[in-house]
Amino acid sequence: MIDKSMPGSTLTFIGDATVRSLVLASTKLILEQQTPGGAYPASPSFSAYAGYCWFRDGSFIADAMSAAGHVESAELFFDWCSNVLSSRSGKIRYIVAESLAGRPPADGQMLPARFTLEGDDGNDEWWDFQLDGYGTWLWALAEHSTRYGRSLERWDEAVALTVDYLVCSWDRPCYDWWEEAAHQVHVSTLGCISSGLASIVAAGHLDEERALRATETVELIRRRVQNDGVRNRHLTKWLGTEALDGSLLALIAPMNFLEPVSPVGKGTISAVEEQLTVRNGVHRYLADSYYGGGQWPLLSCFLGLAQEAAGNRSRARELLLWVASVARDNTELPEQVEGNLLDAEQLQPWIDRWGPSASPLLWSHAMFIRLAIALDTIHPMDRSESGPQTNEKGL
């Protein structure tokens, strides 16, 4: 699907100054929107998302803020996650006990994908049973702790609850990143769980028995993905299909589940470039019809991160500049852009249902920050007028 007629040079009018100013606007937006309790609203003004914080979006946002030097913001989010989990410790222990006894609770009794900004369960119907976000929060927390040498003690209970929850439920079918296809086991979900468990083990903080169970699970997931989640030399959307999904890119970078230069790593990047990418804009998957199935800037950033990890920095830069080019007023990144719709007839029905698609989307801003940092276009310390953020350790 690569459109060779679009030379990278059409993006040359966008330079580092534009990128830097969008990074600053992005961090400002995220800091302004974060609640005192630590929640990052997914999209403050979009009808269907307003008032909610997702573990998935929030964890990637916290990772970007951490990489950008905003230690306190990232840790406040981890506190929010920790409160959500610890306040449900009874429920989680029940799920774990029942699952271990061979009586796994129904999907509706599992943890939801999103919570209100105050950390309560939502009142609206949602496609709630999703496991990936719980792996992603463990991964983001471990990355943060390694990046700054921070102790994980403060999040102890929540980490243990999450590990136990994932170890007993990782192989259950659930909704994917896009909150669809509940009857499948999704490869990106498995990768997020595996990366979360592996990184929290590597952070050296779990007790021996828990670390052992987490490591066994990581190994089981690897084998399952190798056997049923790879076709035609690329990772697949779910186990047993040949289809592809843009979310798989995250498993290459930043989540490090798959080596970028391994045959499957390279194959996955090429397949996404060829099948899902049109003029630098990446689709979620070929059958997407949500708001007509547009291109997602956050996925172009994930593609950029994967390309950068594979050593293709010029391609990664092209993707970064494309994302900057779709920002509204050079300050606002949407969830998706409508330049190249896969199913144009489905755009209006969604607008009729929920209004225009989400913008700004904080996760899009976060991925832009993350890619700009990976490409050294911006450094953690030159990111705001107010100068570097410090904490008690002088970080």
Name 349's Cβ contacts closer than 8 Å, sequence gap at least 6: none
> 69 or 360, CB closer to ligand BGC?
360
From the CB of 283, what's the least distance to ligand BGC, in Å?
A: 13
Please pick, among 63, 128, 132, 335, the residue that the annotation labels catalytic. 335
Neighbours of 43 (CB within 10 A): 22
Choose the catalytic residue: 75, 132, 176, 245. 176
Query: Residues interacting with ligand BGC, by CB under 6 A?
Result: 42, 49, 54, 56-57, 177-179, 361, 363
CB of 289 to ligand BGC, least distance (A): 12
Q: Which is the catalytic residue, given 75, 179, 245, 318?
A: 179
Q: Are strands 114-116 and 52-54 parallel, antiparallel or unpaired?
A: antiparallel
Task: Name the residue with the smallest CB distance to ligand BGC.
Answer: 42
- For residue 31, which amino acid is it? L
Catalytic residue check, 179: yes
CA 207 to chain CA centroid, Å, is 27
Which residue's CB is nearer to ligand BGC, number 69 or number 135? 135
Cβ-based neighbours of 99, under 8 Å, separated by 6 or more: 105, 168, 169
Catalytic residue check, 335: yes
What is the closest distance, in whole angstroms, from the C-beta atom of residue 367 to ligand BGC in the complex? Answer: 12
Q: Which is nearer to ligand BGC, 225 or 361 (CB)?
A: 361
Closest to 357 (Cα-Cα) out of 33, 40, 29, 46: 46
Closer residue to ligand BGC, CB minimum distance, 260 or 334: 334
User: Which residue, 49 or 302, has its beta carbon nearer to ligand BGC?
Assistant: 49
CB of 55 to ligand BGC, least distance (A): 9
Q: Least Å distance between CB 189 and ligand BGC?
A: 12
Residue 43 or 377: which CB sits closer to ligand BGC? Answer: 43
Report, in Å, the least distance between residue 219 CB and ligand BGC.
28
Active site residues: 176, 179, 335
